[in-house]
Structure 1
Amino acid sequence: MSARNLRLGPVAAAIAVVADVAAFIIGLWILMYLLDANPGNDLVNFLHDASRWLASWSHDLFTFNDEWARVVCGYGLAALVYLFLGNAVASRVRRY
């Protein structure tokens, strides 16, 4: 293993962790929404606000008639993109 790989290892790990946490937060919001969690709860509000910010580019991308389908598809797409793209970038950085 070269010195360059040793320096980039923590960077790749940080990228993967950030992407995984973002996907986890969005996934947790989808679960809270589907389980009809109390919107007055601070945790539910935090998850909703964070997810809305993280998925600002996709949360209203779809126009299904059912709101649950819009939430699952819009936020779910963002979670998948964070998960796959973030880990792909981390893998690429790790190999560089």
Structure 2
Amino acid sequence: MTENPDRPPDRAATGGHTTTRTEPGGEHRAPRTRRSLTAARRRTADVLATVISVITTVAVLILAVHIVFVAFEANTANGIVSWFSDRATDLSWQFKDIFQPADPKLEVAVNYGLAALVYLLIGRLLTNLTRRLG
């Protein structure tokens, strides 16, 4: 009796144990449950990595827009400018006053730019690590 590689092995013929199957090319395949768990873990890791990437990218964009608004002296009474300023101040943690050059525009560009760089690096590191663990 020849085995059909598309059909799981008969449990009675294997003593009630599930074994790995051999593909037509001679490669061994893991049982379906192990493969499906690995695939589910990989999909979960990919989704988590995407969420991390999106969050850190949004943080970097908010900081960058704030830097542009300050550099071009945007109207601080404007609601959009104010919103970006408030979010950027929240996102900049302790970076907002690391360097204190005489020019206020340069101060914002350097300090908020440093915060954006940290978000970018940490985001990429976590994204790659998450995908690797998946």
Which residue of 82, 86, 90 corresponds with 2:123?
86
Query: Higher helix fraction: Structure 1 or Structure 2?
Result: 1
Gaps of at least 5 residues in structure 1 are: none
Structure 1 length-normalised TM:
0.95
Aligned residues: 96
Alignment of 1:21-36 (within 5 A): 21-36=58-73
Runs of 4+ deviating beyond 2 Å: none
Structure 2 length-normalised TM:
0.69
Gaps of at least 5 residues in structure 2 are: 1-34
**Correspondence 1:57 to 2:90:** no
Per-residue deviation at 1:83?
1.1
1:39-90 CA-to-partner distances (Å, cap 9, x unmatched) read 0000000000000000021011111111111101100000111112111111
Percent of matched pairs sharing the same residue: 32
For residue 80 of structure 2, what is the aligned residue in structure 1? 43
Query: Which entry has the higher C-alpha Rg, 1 or 2?
Result: 2
Letter in 2 for 1:15: I
CA RMSD of aligned residues (A): 1.2
